[in-house]
Amino acid sequence: MTEERISDGTRKGLSAAMERAWQRLARPGTWWTGAERLAIAAETRQADACGLCGARKEALSPNHVEGRHDSLCVLDDVVVEAIHRIRTDAGRLSSGWLKGLLEQGLEDTHYVELVGVVSTISALDAVDLSMGHQQRALPDPVAGEPTRHRPPGARMGLGWLPTLSADDRTPQEPDFFSKYGDYNVQKAMSLVPDEVMGFFDLDTELYFYERELPQRAEQEAGRAITPMQIEMIAARAASLNGCHY
Amino acid sequence: MDLVATLEGKGAATGMPNGAELLALTDAVVLRDFANLDACREAVRAALGDAGLADTAATIGSYNAIVKVADATGIELDESTADMTVDMRADLDLVDRKT
């Protein structure tokens, strides 16, 4: 069944999900305020024009190039380093690099939420660029305090950071496992469960729900390009981004 | 689909309908090739219409983001996915990630 679309061809469901994502960027998160989340989003865009990031990208190893990032001078240097590397060279990040950031005082919870913000604005901007839309101005921040909830059941064992398994989830945490699946990619940011919920609210419209979930078949039928064409685009984009997952 | 051709960006060799147009736009967006972006976008629109372009854009958006989630957190392939793709990863000469 073909989904309803707005005038530029975008599915209505995707259009609504993107609007929710823009609003989420401006709202207080779990560890960052709305203004801080928008500063992270702005710094993510700034990374594309960073001379240090450009030089590192060309180098055999990013560690061979030293210098200062061309930043907006709003966030701490350690936060800027995290944002710029995730945006421009995520495929060559390492556990040692992350350990260095944490030793400089960046909290693991703040890092995970930052990953979600960088990834969200990267998705939204890539859609606009693909469609030929002007880059959208960031929204105004929404006042309020972060919730600061760390899942007590989160533990090391998957990747470089503590994560939450379905068995260790408490009622204080949203059940993203049932809604979006429990593959590693859904667990990756589970130290900040609301970021998982927000990111996959967008990503399941950009791409698909996991194969086991009932929404998937309807989604595949509603696309204007075939699932194989979608997988081809996904594979190439992942390859260009140096993804190792 | 020829996966090697896909990963190498050789769209016409992928064996997929409109493979050349779809991968050219993917490359132009991810590599920020502004000189060719407009032409690549219009080629997809001409081949697949506005809806086809929009769904292509959505996929590019997703895979410009989900890869960052995975790579920035160091997660590994799920066991079930790894088991299903042993031969494919061997064909592509992919090795396990060292952390």
Expressed as residue numbers, the domain containing B52 is 3-91
Q: Is residue B72 part of a domain?
A: yes
Q: What is the C-alpha separation between B58 and B66, in angstroms, rounded?
A: 12
Per-residue pLDDT at B11: 79
pLDDT at B28 over 80: yes
Note whether residue B83 is domain-resident. yes
User: Residue B54 is encoded by which pair of tokens?
Assistant: 């929009």
Residue with tokens 């913000």: A117
Which parts of chain A register pLDDT below 70?
Answer: 1, 244-245
The mean predicted confidence, pLDDT, of chain A is 96
Task: Answer yes or no: is B55 within a domain.
Answer: yes
Residue B85 belongs to what H/E stretch?
none
User: Looking at the predicted structure, is the pLDDT value of residue B97 above 50?
Assistant: no
Query: Per-residue pLDDT for B29 more than 60?
Result: yes
List CB contacts (< 8 A) between A5 and chain B: 50-51, 54
**How high is the mean pLDDT of chain B?**
86
Largest CA distance in chain B: 44
More confidently predicted of B75 and B96 = B75
Whole-angstrom distance, CA of residue B8 vs CA of residue B20: 12
Q: How many helices (H) and strands (E) does chain B have?
A: 6, 0
Contact check, Cβ <8 Å, B69/A94: no
Residue written as tokens 């590599």?
A: B31
Contacts of A160 in chain B (CB under 8 A): 73-74, 99
Q: For residue B76, name the pLDDT band (cuts at 50, 70, 90).
A: confident
Q: Tell me, what's the pLDDT at B81?
A: 67
- Residues of B with CB below 8 A from A230's CB? 55, 59
> Higher model confidence: residue B87 or residue A188?
A188
- Show Cβ contacts of residue A121 under 8 Å, excluding neighbours closer than 6 positions: A25, A40, A41, A44, A45
Which residues are registered as beta bridge partners of A5? A11
Among A9, A115, A160, the residue with its CB nearest the CB of B54 is A9
Q: Where are the beta strands (DSSP E) in chain A?
A: none
CA separation for the pair A219, A237 (Å, rounded): 21
Distance (Å, whole) CA A41 – CA A37: 6
Angle between helices B34-63 and B66-73 (to 10 degrees): 70
Q: What is the pLDDT of residues A97-130, one digit of tens each?
A: 999 999 999 999 999 999 999 999 999 999 999 9
Cα A174 from Cα A185, distance rounded (Å): 16
Closest CA to A22 of A198, A174, A205: A198
- For B40, the closest chain A residue by CA position comes to A130
Half-sphere CA count of A84, side-chain side, radius 13 A: 28
Total domain count, chain B: 1
Show residues of chain B in contact with A236, CB under 8 Å. Answer: 6-7, 9, 23, 26-27
Q: What is the DSSP letter of B78?
A: P
- pLDDT grade, residue B88 (50/70/90)? low
What DSSP state is assigned to residue A92?
G
Out of A86, A94, A226, the one facing B99 most closely (by C-beta) is: A94
Residue-wise DSSP of B12-39: GGS-STTHHHHHHHHHHHHTT-HHHHHH
User: What is the sign of the dihedral through the CA atoms of B69, B73, B74 and B77?
Assistant: negative
Closest CA to B78 of A198, A212, A111: A212
In this prediction, residue B95 carries a pLDDT of 44
- At residue A170, the 3 state secondary structure works out as coil
| ipTM summary value | 0.96
Q: Which of A118, A127, A128, A204 to mutate to test the interface with B (most CBs of B within 10 A)?
A: A127
Asked if the Cβ–Cβ distance from A161 to B67 is below 8 Å, we say no
List phi, psi (to 5°) of A218. Answer: -65, -40
Two tokens, residue A186: 């859904």
Measure in Å the smallest separation between the Cα of A228 and chain B Cα atoms: 8
Q: Which pLDDT value is given to residue B77?
A: 78
Parse chain A into domains and list their residue ranges: 12-147+175-206, 216-245
Pairwise CB contact (< 8 Å): B72 & A115:
yes
Top-confidence residue, B91 or A107: A107
- Is B71's Cβ below 8 Å from some Cβ in A? yes
How far does the CA of residue B67 sit from the closest CA of chain A (Å)? 6
**In B, which residues are within 8 Å of A205 by CB distance?**
58
Predicted pLDDT of residue A3: 81
* Mutual angle of helices A95-103 and A108-131, in 10-degree steps: 120
Q: Which of A111, A129, A204, A220 to mutate to test the interface with B (most CBs of B within 10 A)?
A: A129
The CA angle A43-A193-A183, to the nearest 5 degrees, is: 100
**Cβ distance A57 to A221 under 8 Å?**
no
A11 forms beta bridges with A5
What is the pLDDT confidence band of residue B83, given thresholds at 50, 70 and 90? low
Decide if B92 touches A, using CB distance below 8 A. no
Most B-contacting residue of A187, A206, A212 (CB-CB within 10 A), to test interface = A206
Which of A112, A129, A226 is opposite residue B29, by nearest beta carbon?
A129
Q: How far apart are CA A208 and CA B66, in angstroms?
A: 12
Q: What is the pLDDT of residue A128?
A: 98
Residue B84 confidence class, pLDDT cut points 50, 70, 90: low
CA distance B28 to chain A (A): 9
